[in-house]
Amino acid sequence: MGPTETPDDRAMYRRISWRIMPLLLTAYVVAFLDRINVGYAQLQMKETLAFSDAVYALGAGIFFIGYLLFEVPSNLVLEKIGVRKTLLRIMVCWGVVAMAMMFVQTPTQFYVLRFLLGVFEAGFTPGALLYLTYWYPPARRARMIAVFLLGAIFASLIAGPLSGAIMKYFDGLNGWHGWQWLFLVQGLPAPLLGLLAWFVLVDRPEQAGWLSAEEKLRLRQQFDAEHQSATKASHGSLRDLLSDSKVWVLSLVYVLMVAGTYTIAFWTPTLIRSWGVNDMLEIGLYATLPQLFAAAGVILLSRSSDRRRERRWHFTAGALTAASGLAIIALAQGQLGVSLAGLCLAMMGVASVPPVFFALTSEYLPRASVAVGIALVSSIGNLGGAISPSVTSALNASSGGTLYSLYFVMSLYLLAAFIVLTAARPTAPTLQAA
């Protein structure tokens, strides 16, 4: 909340939020669910298709190669054609591919469809983050990014019991395996939401018939005031962005974050099974509890970061919380209660850092570079998701357990915190992180 914000301002932002956030949040829930449900499906796929852990890990990671290649182009197209056309294209295509996963029979088919899922979904998250910068000035941005990114937590919250129930109770229905029904049921909402976005959203605030002329003017004035008071790096082109060392530092931090996040997301069902839980539905139910702590972490850290207009130490606090939770899991040696407590703490930290990170990134980049900059940092960062499943699979195979993988993910978050603390100092003239 800005220092001069009036009751009329708060009413205006509430109206904006109710018009755009429910759809964006729901769409992100579906996107994240289609991205991570392979973590549950693989528990049956490896039995019915004889897929090894290495095949699964490569298929899980190859999603991010397609994501990397098409993320920046998608955001550039969004700037030209608007969010409605972009979301319609993205969500219909990714939904069709997500449902087609039910027909996978060979590793090659698995790899191709996971790659295409990344290609078609590539522009959704950075596009939605860019869209939020059209509606919310920096003083509100971390909170609204946090609300959007809560979709990942909600998806993880329902993924366990929903996936477990589908695989347990639908198995054999119509002659299909449970994992086939999983991909069909969870892929269907995406095209429907894409059509809904076409009819519900508007591309820019000035096109919103539900805002008055006075509200549109006040919104523009608040953005202009924020931009005039902010000191930012100057980037005239993509070439300038690529030559800015701070952009590469932010990208490296996001590589580490994504590697850690998706290692945990993809391997949580396997991790819970290693603690002595074997029933599919029970695994799903145990996986939901940490997401409640994750939601609390997102809300508390992002609100505190916005209130204090500080990003650097808040990011570090979240990263250290994640590392501490993983350390507890490692020390618990498979004891279910203690391990689950550690997973709750780890997820609280893991989920709380992205909103702060993207607020920091959007405040550093000048307005003219935000579309390309967010997509560039996000796309480079997603290399972490491409690499980490195979790395952790190799560590698990060599050690015969998950201990080394836990230490690996701990090191990712500790390194990310160190980089943000040292490279995003508030005294630096080109990066206003605080």
Return the amino acid letter for 308: R
pLDDT tens-place string over residues 35-59: 888 888 888 888 888 888 888 888 8
Q: Is the pLDDT of residue 426 over 70?
A: no
> Mean pLDDT throughout 374-399?
80
pLDDT tens-place string over residues 112-161: 999 999 888 888 888 888 888 889 887 787 788 878 878 877 887 888 88
> Mean pLDDT throughout 199-207?
90
- Give the pLDDT confidence score for residue 402 in this predicted structure: 77
> Mean pLDDT throughout 218-231?
69
Is pLDDT larger for residue 5 or for residue 338?
338
- Give the pLDDT confidence score for residue 434 in this predicted structure: 31
- Give the pLDDT confidence score for residue 432 in this predicted structure: 39
Q: Is the pLDDT of residue 430 over 50?
A: no
Nearest-10 Cα torsion for 154, 160, 163, 169? -130
Q: Is the pLDDT of residue 190 over 60?
A: yes
- Give the pLDDT confidence score for residue 94 in this predicted structure: 92
Q: How far apart are CA 117 and CA 367, in angstroms?
A: 30
Find where tokens 């769409």 sit.
27
pLDDT tens-place string over residues 11-41: 899 999 999 999 999 999 999 888 888 888 8
Q: Is the pTM of this model over 0.85?
A: no
Q: How far apart are CA 89 and CA 73, in angstroms?
A: 14
pLDDT tens-place string over residues 333-382: 888 989 999 999 999 999 899 889 988 887 777 666 666 777 778 778 87
DSSP string, 259-314: HHHHHHHHHHHHHHHHTT---HHHHHHHHHHHHHHHHHHHHHHHHHHHHHT--HHH
- Give the pLDDT confidence score for residue 319 in this predicted structure: 95
How many other CB atoms are there within 10 angstroms of residue 8's CB atom? 11
What whole-number percentage of the chain has pLDDT above 70?
91
- Give the pLDDT confidence score for residue 431 in this predicted structure: 39
Q: How would residue 96 be classed by pLDDT, with cut points 50, 70 and 90?
A: very high
- Give the pLDDT confidence score for residue 2 in this predicted structure: 46
- Give the pLDDT confidence score for residue 433 in this predicted structure: 35
Q: How would residue 427 be classed by pLDDT, with cut points 50, 70 and 90?
A: very low
State the SS3 of 373-401: HHHHHHHHHCHHHHHHHHHHHHHHHHHCC
Q: Check if CATH label 1.20.1250.20 holds for domain 7-423.
A: yes
Query: Do 151 and 32 form a contact (C-beta atoms < 8 A)?
Result: yes
pLDDT tens-place string over residues 155-187: 878 888 888 899 989 998 999 999 999 999 999
Return the amino acid letter for 336: L
Per-residue tokens: 271? 């991790």
Q: How far apart are CA 335 and CA 228, in angstroms?
A: 55
Mean pLDDT of the chain: 84
